[in-house]
Amino acid sequence: MTTMHRPTGLAAAYSRSVFRGEDVCAAAGLPVHGAGPHPHFDDTIWDFTGVIGLPRYLARYARILSFAEILNPQWRELAKEFIFARLAPDHPAVRELAHAYRTPVLIATVHGRLTVLTGWLNWLTEQGVDNLGEVTQQHCAAYLELRKKVRDKHGIVIRDSSPGYRMDVVAVIQELGYYTELFSADGYVSAFRPWGRRTAYSVAGMVRRTGNTTPPLSNDVFQPLVAAALYVVEVLAPHVMELQQQLQEMVPNRPGRNNRERSDWRVEVAQAIDRHIQESDPLDVALDHVVAERLAGGWDPDDPLLRVNLISLAHETGRHAFHYTWLPTVRGHLEKAVREVGLAKRWGRMAALVERADGRGSVPWTLPMNTTEARLQLSRARTACLIALAALTGMRKSELAELTHDCRLPPEQLGEGRLRYRLKGKVIKGRKLGGEHDQWVTIKQAYETAGVAASLADPVKNAGHLFKSLSFFTPYEWFLTWVNGAEGRRLGLAPIPEVPVSLRMLRRTLAVEMAHRPGGLLAAKIHLKHISVVTTEGYADRPGGAQSVLMAEFGQEEREHKMRVALDAFHDYQNGIRPAGPGASDLLDFFAFVDEQLDSSGAPNIKRSDQEVTNLLAKRAKALHLGPANYCWFLDPSKALCLKLAGGHARGATEPLIGMCDSARCPQATHHAGHRPVWAASAASKKVFIATIGRAQRTEKTRLTKELARDERVLAEIDAHCGTGA
């Protein structure tokens, strides 16, 4: 067996890479702003922040590749060659390699690859290996075993690593072997192949899954979360915008504020203090944790300045921070101001009244806040906009990040009282660098939320976009704490269970909710059917756009859900639980047929699998339509009562008109145990109405009495057939 000779030590330092002097972006076909950084192969740090078209959600640190952290100098060169080859597979030196990848990867991908590669190479250095020719399968296996655990900075195991991360580790170790001939200074021996012919997927123990694996949020999380976000957007946002304007006016708008030529800080702070004295305006109060930190730092508990918000005072001068070294100089002046005007939270002292979220009266929209709390209020309102847009549109994180201040297109008039709302943006996933322009058809609430987000956005920091950052975890934690805290209770907001929530889960939940409960409520005042309609219109209008992907997810989930419903109904039949309703007899005959087919299709005493049952139920499940109070088995349009009631308007219909359904009379409708709460609630509400109707409204009382009798008859049938009676 022959091995590839690689120079080491001083010899390696003089080996010349074929990429020396290359412009990385030019070789990779990445356009760069004229004044932006142009990384070259010889640089230790490759800065891609100037590349045009990078997605906004990509953090700045992920746009910069640093090879300086690799301990072995000759392996830094090797790492640069490897990353260059992944970015520019069409380079002449890379095209010649038999096993090299032929598709360029994204900057975010090579950033992850470099992170993993740095860990692998530095671990080898720690093991005393200074030449990749010495690497054996034992080294590879030992390093993978180490990376199966996630450790904190002290080396203590926190949890098991994910299969996806382990696959990345194995992939990087293996991929180095694909580029051995390219490396100028080192490489594996030519015959060495980590883990033989096993793939990184199998080595990492990945389990192949079908369908979308992102878990949806349960309704007891999704409902109060979206309701709280909409309450902030629709009720509190106008007051938050006014607060934002006041905060901006607090900072003096004068020339030179952001330039190096500024007034002496002593003059600026003194002027700010004098203004408080002249206007009898109390100084702002510091937060409790700041006071605690000052006491821990040695402040006297009786110090008159202990509770003064010094940062707020600095903001009034246009500065971002108050340096404690300034305090001895201004202490006397500040103490005088405290004696004369006192301390009080500056914002929201006379807040306007708003209706509570639970409808139980009116309360001030906020309690008094100091400057820090006021800025947090702005942050929470922006988070509420992000939650509402993600939940009501189904946009991905990358698509939300691309929405600009002018993303709202003028409403389109489609007919009397019918307006269609659109948002313009970009689709990033699966598109070329820079994305592709697209439009989303949305409901009115989402459209208005985008307008609120534009008003609350900082035009400078956000670079013309609705959201500065799509970092979600920490802002969501702040929002959750506020909703579940004293302020949320004061405003009548329902508490939100403290479970993990992500933007991806919000998108997944929307698709699942539309598939499972098309006639129900998504949140306060938002009907799922409305979202389904506009999403369908958006798909029809732009079949290659982002809403087509969401529709595909919705359609797949709907098909799977219908099959589960049909399968559950069949299992109920096998357990002696019968459906009720006019269509029950026909459904029971079908289930009996399926049961007979299963009994005759195999040996006795063999339990049939769900797959066999699914195959027999497939056609019936495809015809199933889910109503809020019944199942509609839409096999024969000529028997559909809703189409008969619609008359000529329903000619050629291929689906039932669920909104016109009278399941108590339709021969294709069935009632099951899960529908009982809907009928029970309907009966209870009718009893209340009937009890309040006066003698002069006999016709209305007669109508409601008949409907109540129908509801009670349906309830009795459900109880009798489904075993839900008392």
Query: pLDDT, tens digit, for every residue of 101-133?
Result: 999 999 999 999 999 999 999 999 999 999 999
**pLDDT greater at residue 264 or residue 619:** 619
Q: Is the pLDDT of residue 4 over 60?
A: no
Least confidently predicted of 225-229, 557-561, 620-624: 557-561
pLDDT given for residue 549 in this prediction:
77
Contact (Cβ atoms closer than 8 angstroms) between residue 388 and residue 235: no
Which residue intervals of 542-634 are DSSP H helices? 546-574, 584-600, 610-622
Per-residue DSSP letter, 185: S
- Angle, vertex CA 73, rays to CA 68 and CA 74, nearest 5: 130
Least confidently predicted of 75-89, 312-326, 591-605, 637-651: 591-605
pLDDT given for residue 102 in this prediction:
92
- The 3-state DSSP class for residue 439 equals strand
- The 3-state DSSP class for residue 46 equals strand
pLDDT band at 3 (very low <50, low <70, confident <90, very high): very low
Q: For tokens 């260059």, name the residue.
A: 84
pLDDT given for residue 2 in this prediction:
37
SS3 content of the chain, % helix, strand, coil (to 5): 50, 10, 40
pLDDT band at 7 (very low <50, low <70, confident <90, very high): very low
Q: Once rounded to an integer, what is the mean pLDDT over residues 42-55?
A: 93
pLDDT given for residue 254 in this prediction:
42
pLDDT given for residue 627 in this prediction:
79
pLDDT given for residue 367 in this prediction:
94
Through-space distance between the first and last CA atoms of the chain, rounded to whole angstroms: 82
pLDDT given for residue 68 in this prediction:
95
Q: How far apart are CA 167 and CA 204, in angstroms?
A: 5
Q: What is the pLDDT of residues 342-356, one digit of tens each?
A: 998 889 988 999 999
Contact (Cβ atoms closer than 8 angstroms) between residue 430 and residue 545: no
pLDDT band at 518 (very low <50, low <70, confident <90, very high): low
Per-residue DSSP letter, 236: I
Contacts of 372 (CB under 8 A, 6+ apart): 287, 309, 311, 312
Q: Once rounded to an integer, what is the mean pLDDT over residues 270-284?
A: 89
3-state secondary structure labels for all residues of 83-129: HHHHHCCCCHHHHCCCCCCCCCCCHHHHHHHHHHHHHHHHHHHHCCC
Q: Is the pLDDT of residue 653 over 80?
A: no
pLDDT given for residue 255 in this prediction:
38
Percent of the residues in the chain that have a pLDDT greater than 70, as a whole number: 88
pLDDT band at 292 (very low <50, low <70, confident <90, very high): very high
Single-letter code of the amino acid located at 619:
K
Query: For the residues of 289-355, what is the DSSP string, one character each?
Result: HHHHHHHHTT--TT-TTTTB-HHHHHHHTT-S---GGGHHHHHHHHHHHHHHH-B---B-TTPPEEE
pLDDT band at 643 (very low <50, low <70, confident <90, very high): confident
> By C-alpha distance, which of 179, 70, 160 is closest to 120?
70
Contacts of 233 (CB under 8 A, 6+ apart): 381, 384, 385, 388, 445, 448, 449, 452
Q: For tokens 């985008």, name the residue.
A: 450
**pLDDT greater at residue 172 or residue 271:** 172
Instruction: Quickly count: other Cβ atoms within 10 Å of residue 177's Cβ.
Output: 18
Q: What is the pLDDT of residues 58-68, one digit of tens each?
A: 889 999 999 99
Contact (Cβ atoms closer than 8 angstroms) between residue 216 and residue 35: no
Q: What is the pLDDT of residues 698-723, one digit of tens each?
A: 888 888 899 899 999 999 999 988 87
**pLDDT greater at residue 165 or residue 512:** 165
| Exposure b/e, 505-516, CB count within 10 A at least 16 = b | bbbbbbbbbbbb
Contact (Cβ atoms closer than 8 angstroms) between residue 345 and residue 370: yes
Q: How does the average pLDDT of the chain come out, rounded?
A: 85
Q: For tokens 């997605």, name the residue.
A: 55
Q: What is the pLDDT of residues 583-625, one digit of tens each?
A: 999 999 999 998 888 876 555 544 456 677 888 888 888 888 8
pLDDT given for residue 647 in this prediction:
75
> By C-alpha distance, which of 525, 584, 574, 533 is closest to 554?
533
pLDDT band at 517 (very low <50, low <70, confident <90, very high): low
> By C-alpha distance, which of 446, 437, 439 is closest to 393?
446
pLDDT given for residue 626 in this prediction:
83
Contact (Cβ atoms closer than 8 angstroms) between residue 393 and residue 403: no
pLDDT band at 256 (very low <50, low <70, confident <90, very high): very low
Q: Once rounded to an integer, what is the mean pLDDT over residues 213-239?
A: 91
> By C-alpha distance, which of 649, 704, 644 is closest to 668?
644
Put residue 155 in one of left, alpha, beta given phi > 0 → left and psi -120 to 50 → alpha. left
pLDDT band at 5 (very low <50, low <70, confident <90, very high): very low
Q: Once rounded to an integer, what is the mean pLDDT over residues 469-495?
A: 93
**pLDDT greater at residue 528 or residue 63:** 63
Q: How far apart are CA 547 and CA 292, in angstroms?
A: 51
Q: What is the pLDDT of residues 432-467, one digit of tens each?
A: 888 888 888 888 889 999 999 999 998 777 788 999
Sort strands 412-415 and 362-364 into parallel, antiparallel or unpaired: unpaired
- Angle, vertex CA 193, rays to CA 28 and CA 173, nearest 5: 50
Q: How far apart are CA 388 and CA 382, in angstroms?
A: 10
Query: Mean pLDDT highest for which of 239-253, 372-386, 557-571?
Result: 372-386
Q: For residue 498, report the phi and psi dihedrals to the nearest 5 degrees.
A: -85, 80
The burial class, CB within 10 Å (0-12 / 13-18 / 19+), for 466 is: buried
pLDDT given for residue 173 in this prediction:
96
> In whole angstroms, how large is the CA radius of gyration of the chain?
33
